[in-house]
Amino acid sequence: TCTGELYMCLGQDDRADLRGPLRAHPGDDAPLIDAIRAAITHKPRGHDFDYSRNRPDGQISRHMSHTGG
Protein backbone atom coordinates (compact mmCIF):
# COMPACT_ATOMS: atom_id res chain seq x y z
CA THR A 1 0.00 0.00 0.00
CA CYS A 2 1.03 3.66 -0.08
CA THR A 3 1.65 3.39 3.69
CA GLY A 4 4.12 0.54 3.32
CA GLU A 5 1.86 -2.36 4.26
CA LEU A 6 1.81 -5.64 2.37
CA TYR A 7 -1.57 -7.36 2.62
CA MET A 8 -1.49 -11.14 2.37
CA CYS A 9 -4.92 -11.01 0.73
CA LEU A 10 -7.01 -7.97 -0.14
CA GLY A 11 -9.97 -9.55 1.61
CA GLN A 12 -8.15 -10.26 4.89
CA ASP A 13 -6.61 -8.16 7.67
CA ASP A 14 -3.25 -9.97 7.73
CA ARG A 15 -0.53 -7.54 6.74
CA ALA A 16 3.17 -6.89 7.13
CA ASP A 17 5.01 -3.63 7.60
CA LEU A 18 7.51 -3.01 4.80
CA ARG A 19 8.11 0.66 5.55
CA GLY A 20 10.09 -0.19 8.69
CA PRO A 21 12.70 -2.35 6.94
CA LEU A 22 12.91 0.11 4.05
CA ARG A 23 13.61 3.07 6.33
CA ALA A 24 15.83 1.21 8.78
CA HIS A 25 18.07 -0.26 6.08
CA PRO A 26 18.31 2.15 3.13
CA GLY A 27 20.26 0.61 0.29
CA ASP A 28 20.07 -2.91 1.77
CA ASP A 29 17.39 -5.09 0.21
CA ALA A 30 18.01 -8.13 2.43
CA PRO A 31 15.80 -7.02 5.38
CA LEU A 32 12.99 -6.12 2.97
CA ILE A 33 13.25 -9.48 1.21
CA ASP A 34 13.24 -11.25 4.59
CA ALA A 35 10.10 -9.34 5.64
CA ILE A 36 8.32 -10.28 2.39
CA ARG A 37 9.32 -13.94 2.71
CA ALA A 38 8.12 -14.04 6.33
CA ALA A 39 4.84 -12.37 5.36
CA ILE A 40 4.15 -14.86 2.59
CA THR A 41 4.12 -17.70 5.13
CA HIS A 42 0.98 -16.09 6.62
CA LYS A 43 -0.82 -15.78 3.29
CA PRO A 44 -4.14 -17.65 3.37
CA ARG A 45 -4.34 -20.71 1.16
CA GLY A 46 -7.61 -19.48 -0.29
CA HIS A 47 -10.55 -17.18 0.19
CA ASP A 48 -14.24 -17.11 -0.51
CA PHE A 49 -15.51 -14.06 -2.33
CA ASP A 50 -18.88 -15.74 -2.90
CA TYR A 51 -21.09 -14.07 -0.30
CA SER A 52 -23.98 -16.41 -1.08
CA ARG A 53 -22.25 -19.31 0.68
CA ASN A 54 -21.73 -19.50 4.42
CA ARG A 55 -18.20 -20.83 4.90
CA PRO A 56 -16.18 -19.93 8.01
CA ASP A 57 -12.78 -20.79 6.49
CA GLY A 58 -11.37 -18.19 4.15
CA GLN A 59 -14.20 -15.78 4.88
CA ILE A 60 -13.70 -12.15 3.89
CA SER A 61 -12.92 -9.94 6.89
CA ARG A 62 -12.35 -6.64 5.05
CA HIS A 63 -13.36 -5.21 1.72
CA MET A 64 -10.76 -4.57 -0.96
CA SER A 65 -11.88 -0.96 -1.26
CA HIS A 66 -10.46 -0.27 2.23
CA THR A 67 -6.95 -0.65 0.81
CA GLY A 68 -7.42 2.17 -1.66
CA GLY A 69 -5.89 2.46 -5.05
- pLDDT, one tens digit per residue, over 25-63 is 999 999 999 999 999 998 877 766 665 665 555 555 666
Predicted local confidence at residue 44, as pLDDT? 76
CA 68 → CA 29, 43, 59, distances in Å? 26, 20, 20
pTM of the model: 0.67
Predicted local confidence at residue 14, as pLDDT? 82
What is d(CA 63, CA 13) in angstroms, rounded to the nearest whole number? 9
CA dihedral 39, 20, 66, 53 (to 10 degrees): 10
